[in-house]
């Protein structure tokens, strides 16, 4: 049993390039996809290298368990596909195509080996191979999802930071216009981003305008108070403007003390008063 497994293992690896060539020949000419015949030579070289490593990882199932190799391949390729934003349905389709090609080469080996291969061998290979393909697809999709979530989180953080910029209007003075709804995540990013921007831009007085914030709940009120306290710790004076009546009421109910903060009805009024 061990000997015939090693023969199949050697046969597949000897034909590794042929398997990859046959897989690459199935690509369509559709543009805008990693799996296109019109892709650049660099992309094709990368696909060849990745598929060669894929074949080695799968074929190890005939001689020993190599889940670690499969996991490493899945993590590496999933990260590359995620960064290129390759749709998952295209990736799964390529797994299906290559599974069929791989099995054709296994059948060729069985035909050439003749009576040396038993029915039991075929059934065992079928179970092992299908299980391995299923495992690698699961490992790939799981890692792809994790990486996509990280990329989306980074993009969201960047968008949130850009949506709440500290705008210098003159030396030492900046304006932070806060627009739209604020949830826990956005409040945290605004807090961290505002502190960093004030330090980077040399802001000593920050005008925080809340006139475009429709709702301020308990969480937002606490985050606002934390922002004001943190700014004070780094030597930045705060001026609040545009606080709606319901916001003031929420702050009062929570016992948040804004007595040390200058508050004006509008940003224009706040700037005018500051210039006096």
Task: Give the separation between CA 260 and CA 229, rounded to whole angstroms.
Answer: 10
Residues forming CATH 3.30.750.24 domain(s) in the chain? 164-275
Residues forming CATH 1.10.490.10 domain(s) in the chain? 2-157
Q: How many CB atoms lie within 10 A of CB 50?
A: 16
pLDDT digits (tens, 9 = 90+) for 27-50: 887 777 788 888 888 989 999 999
Q: Give the residue from 137, 135, 86, 129 showing the smallest Cα distance to 110.
A: 129
pLDDT of residue 66: 61
Name the CATH superfamily for 164-275.
Answer: STAS domain (3.30.750.24)
Q: 262 versus 232: which is more confidently predicted?
A: 232
**Is residue 242 predicted with pLDDT exceeding 80?**
yes
pLDDT digits (tens, 9 = 90+) for 182-226: 877 788 888 888 999 999 999 999 999 988 887 766 777 778 888
Average pLDDT, the chain: 86
| Domain covering 2-157 in this structure, CATH number | 1.10.490.10
68 by Cβ neighbours in 10 Å (0-12 / 13-18 / 19+) ranks as exposed
């Amino acid at each position: 049993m061990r000997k015939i497994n090693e023969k199949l293992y050697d046969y597949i690896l000897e034909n590794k390039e042929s398997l990859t060539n046959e897989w690459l020949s199935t690509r369509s000419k559709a543009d805008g996809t990693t799996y296109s015949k019109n892709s650049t030579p660099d992309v094709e070289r990368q696909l060849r290298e990745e598929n060669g490593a894929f074949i080695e990882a799968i074929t190890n199932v005939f001689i020993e368990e190599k889940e670690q190799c499969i996991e490493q391949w899945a993590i590496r390729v999933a990260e590359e596909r995620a960064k290129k934003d390759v749709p998952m349905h295209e990736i799964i389709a390529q797994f299906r195509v290559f599974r069929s090609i791989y099995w054709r080469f296994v059948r060729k080996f069985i035909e050439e080996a003749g009576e040396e291969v038993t029915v039991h061998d075929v059934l065992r290979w079928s179970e092992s191979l299908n299980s391995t393909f299923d495992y690698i697809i699961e490992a790939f999709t799981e890692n792809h999802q994790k990486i996509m979530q990280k990329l989306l989180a980074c993009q969201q953080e960047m968008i949130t930071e850009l949506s709440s910029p500290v705008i210098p209007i003159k030396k030492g003075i900046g304006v932070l216009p806060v627009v739209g709804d604020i949830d826990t995540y956005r409040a945290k990013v605004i807090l961290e981003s505002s502190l960093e921007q004030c330090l980077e831009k040399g802001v000593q007085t920050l005008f925080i305008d809340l006139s475009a914030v429709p709702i301020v709940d308990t969480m937002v009120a606490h985050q606002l108070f934390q922002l004001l306290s943190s700014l004070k710790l780094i030597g930045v004076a705060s001026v609040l403007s545009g606080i709606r009546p319901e916001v003031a009421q929420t702050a009062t109910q929570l016992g948040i003390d804004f007595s040390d903060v200058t508050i004006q009805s509008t940003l224009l009024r706040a700037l005018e008063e500051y210039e006096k």
